[in-house]
Structure 1
Amino acid sequence: MAKVLVVGNGAREHVLGRQLLKSNQVEKVYCAPGNPGMLESGIEIIPIGVTDFGKLVEFARKQGIDLTVVGPEQPLQQGIVDYFSTAGLTIFGPTQAAAKLESSKEFAKKIMQEAGVPTASYVSYQDEATAIKGLAKNDYPLVIKSDGLAAGKGVVIAKSQKEATTTIHKMLGEHQFDTKSIIIEEFLTGQEFSLMAFIQDEQIIPMPLSQDHKAAYDGDEGPNTGGMGAYSPLQHFPSDLVNEGVEKIIRPIIRTLKKKNIAFCGILYAGLIMTDSGPKVIEFNVRLGDPETVVVLPQLQSDLYEMLQGLLHHQVPVVKWQKDQVYLGVVISSQTYPQASARGVELADFNYLPSNITVNYAGVSCKRDGQLISNGGRILCLTTGASNITKAQAILYGWLNQHPILGLRYRSDIGDKAK
């Protein structure tokens, strides 16, 4: 029986661990550092940070870990896959070189241009004064992106020159997101959606499409967050869209990287927008999306562990996804998120969920009596499945509306665009 190590501590890693435990081949799943809410699912949490590669390798060797799966972007950017591979350990995820697709938006744009992949036109800047001067050439709204990792919050849609100037100052003047470069690009209109795929070289296994809700408040108002909810699959989109995304976007990117001697193994997440001229790329991530994962992975009916090991050994695994239900995930956050995190709200109500609702924990800690309390920005994500989005909303929001919890909030319109 296999032992698996999941690196990360959020709702994405919670559902990833739970899905791996479904495998008949897996006896134990560890999560480092994990969170105490995962214990209820039989996941063992290990107090090792996601970038403490030496201790992670030491733990993997000592426990005889058969597979390590990486959740968040930071350890990928810092080269955890290279580190584990050098140590002779099996790990699923992209190398540090391949992870630049997410860690550098300018690198991603250049790869897209070379691959002929449709995306917004852009200009990059390293200097605040030059960037502000360049605003005179733009129409509004426009999109300003920090070049590095920013936990999903380094993107601002500026509706005026004043807002754009303020944003540029925060990014290049105050270095709010620890970046030395920004990208200013055209604003694309249309519905955004996500296409994630498991990849080993040119073998691409696409997942069902999903739609994330980034803005903090109902109606897509307020600042960007790490994600306030998602649903999947997207039944109102064309049925051939997954195949189109694979052949016109994902495969050309993988081949272009290969020409540069960068092999890709892991997850490629394409953040897309459906424009009048077809899908275009907004961004790439090199890991599972959060919260998209909580509505996509439960649709997998085949063995996740078997699939990942098959890909790593250049085999062609059998993969089956459900097609009868829509999955909805609603993030419960602290009242002050994303401006600030908070802690101390008791989460006892979530111990008594109906059988058709699953809780995936993220920003939680444990009191001395074992009771979970909030400890962060995004606290947890509730998930359900139903025959259509309206029924799924009725299940989740029906329960949430009957159990208001002071100090926490959620968007009440996740999935509305599917109607």
Structure 2
Amino acid sequence: MAKVLVVGSGAREHALCRQLLLSPQVDKVFCAPGNAGMSEPNLETVKINELEFDQLVGFAEKNQIDLTIVGPELPLQKGIVDRFNVIGQNIFGPTKMAAALEGSKTFAKEVMQKAEVPTARYESYTDEITAIKAVENVTYPIVIKANGLAAGKGVVIAEDYATASTTVHNMLGNHQFGTDSIIVEEFLQGQEFSLMAFVNDEQIIPMPLSQDHKAAFDNDRGPNTGGMGAYSPLRQFPENLTQIGIEKIIQPIVHALKQDSIPFCGVLYAGLILTTDGPKVIEFNVRLGDPETVVVLPQLQSDLYELLQGLLHHEKVVPTWQTDQTYLGVVISSESYPQSSGSGVPLTSFENLPRDINVDYSGVKRQDGMLVSNGGRVLCLTTAAPDIQQAQDRIYGWLNQQQLDGLRYRHDIGNKGKQ
């Protein structure tokens, strides 16, 4: 029987662990560092930080781990896969060089240009004065992105010059996101969506499309967050959209990286927007999205462990996905998120959920024996129903009856799926 190590601590990792435990081949899943809400049988949290590579490698060796899977972006950017590969430990994720596709907006744009992948027109800047002068004579709105990892928050849609110049100053003058460069790009009109795929070299296995909700408040208002909820699949889009995305975006990117001697293994996440000219790329991530994972992975009817091992060993993998239900996930966050995190709000209500609502925990801890909030995004509730409306009725019907002082959530997750 197999033992698996999942690296990370959020709702994405909780969903990953749960899905892996469904495999008849897996008898134990470890999550490092995990969180206090992960209490499933045969799931054990390990007190090793996701950036403590030596300890993680040592744990994998000592416990004869058969497969390690990396959830968050930072350890991938820092080279955790390279570290495991050096000693021959089985790990699913991209190398440090391949992870630059997410870590560097400029690198991603260069690869897209080489691969002739459709994306927004852009310019990159390192000098604050030059960038502020450049945004004086543009058509608004525009999109300004910090060139680096910002946990989904380093993107600002500027509606006017005042907002744009302030954003440029915050990013380049005040180094708000620890970056020394930014990208200014055209604003694209259309519905955004996520296409995630399991990849190893030329084998690409797409997952059901999903739609994340980045803005903090209802009707896509407020600052960007790491994600306030998601739903999947996207029945409002053409049936062949996934195939178009694979052929015009994912395959060309994987091929372009390979031509530069950067083989890609892991999850390739394309953040896309469906324009009148077809899908265009907003960004790339090199790992499973959070919260998209909680609504996508449960749709897998075949064995996740078998799928990943097959990919790693270059075997032909043909997974099966459900098609009848719509999965909806609503993130519960601290009231002050994303400006700041909260702590200490009791979560007793979420430990007694109806049978048809599931919870994946993220920012939580045990305090005096009680599960309480401990972070920005606290947890994600998920359900499955024949359509969006029924899924919304179920989750919001329960949520609206709860006293959640100190917490908040968006009330419109999935609304675009009903248009």
- TM-score normalised by structure 1 residue count: 0.99
Other-structure match for 1:152: 152
What SS does structure 2 have at the residue aligned with 1:36?
A: coil
TM-fit CA distance, 1:137: 3.0
Distance in 2 (CA, whole Å) between partners of 1:305 and 1:201 is 18
Residue 243, structure 1, aligned to residue 243, structure 2: yes
Residues 131-140 or 15-24, more deviating: 131-140
What SS does structure 2 have at the residue aligned with 1:99?
A: helix
What SS does structure 2 have at the residue aligned with 1:340?
A: coil
TM-fit CA distance, 1:41: 5.5
Structure 1 runs of 4+ aligned residues shifted over 3 Å read none
Distance in 2 (CA, whole Å) between partners of 1:191 and 1:299 is 22
Q: Structure 2 matches for 1:192-341, cutoff 5 A?
A: 192-341=192-341
TM-fit CA distance, 1:87: 1.6
What SS does structure 2 have at the residue aligned with 1:356?
A: coil
TM-fit CA distance, 1:139: 1.1
TM-fit CA distance, 1:40: 3.7
Letter in 2 for 1:150: A
Question: Do 1:143 and 1:184's aligned partners in 2 also have CA atoms closer than 8 Å?
Answer: yes
Residue 182, structure 1, aligned to residue 171, structure 2: no
TM-fit CA distance, 1:138: 1.2
Question: Do 1:334 and 1:342's aligned partners in 2 also have CA atoms closer than 8 Å?
Answer: yes
Aligned residues, how many?
418
Letter in 2 for 1:2: A
Q: Structure 2 matches for 1:109-128, cutoff 5 A?
A: 109-128=109-128
Residue 362, structure 1, aligned to residue 380, structure 2: no
TM-fit CA distance, 1:367: 1.4
TM-fit CA distance, 1:42: 4.1
Structure 1 unaligned spans of 5+: none
Distance in 2 (CA, whole Å) between partners of 1:350 and 1:41 is 18
Structure 2 unaligned spans of 5+: none
Distance in 1 (CA, whole Å) between partners of 2:42 and 2:151 is 28
- Cα deviation per residue 1:253-290 (whole Å; 9 max; x = unaligned)? 00000110000000000000011111100000000000
TM-fit CA distance, 1:39: 1.8
- Cα deviation per residue 1:221-278 (whole Å; 9 max; x = unaligned)? 0000000000000011000000000000000000000110000000000000011111
- Cα deviation per residue 1:65-85 (whole Å; 9 max; x = unaligned)? 000000000000000000000
Other-structure match for 1:98: 98
RMSD (CA atoms):
0.7
Question: Do 1:211 and 1:234's aligned partners in 2 also have CA atoms closer than 8 Å?
Answer: yes
What SS does structure 2 have at the residue aligned with 1:268?
A: strand
Question: Do 1:18 and 1:41's aligned partners in 2 also have CA atoms closer than 8 Å?
Answer: no
Question: Do 1:125 and 1:182's aligned partners in 2 also have CA atoms closer than 8 Å?
Answer: yes
Distance in 2 (CA, whole Å) between partners of 1:16 and 1:6 is 8
Distance in 1 (CA, whole Å) between partners of 2:87 and 2:376 is 35
- Cα deviation per residue 1:279-327 (whole Å; 9 max; x = unaligned)? 1000000000000000000000000000000000000123000000000
Other-structure match for 1:374: 373
Residue 164, structure 1, aligned to residue 169, structure 2: no
Other-structure match for 2:405: 406
CA change 1:162–1:200 in 2 (3 A) is same
TM-fit CA distance, 1:164: 0.6
Other-structure match for 1:417: 416
- Cα deviation per residue 1:108-144 (whole Å; 9 max; x = unaligned)? 0010011010000000001111111111231111000
Distance in 2 (CA, whole Å) between partners of 1:43 and 1:361 is 14
- Cα deviation per residue 1:355-412 (whole Å; 9 max; x = unaligned)? 100000000000132x110000000000000000000000100000111311110000
Letter in 1 for 2:221: E
CA change 1:41–1:293 in 2 (3 A) is farther
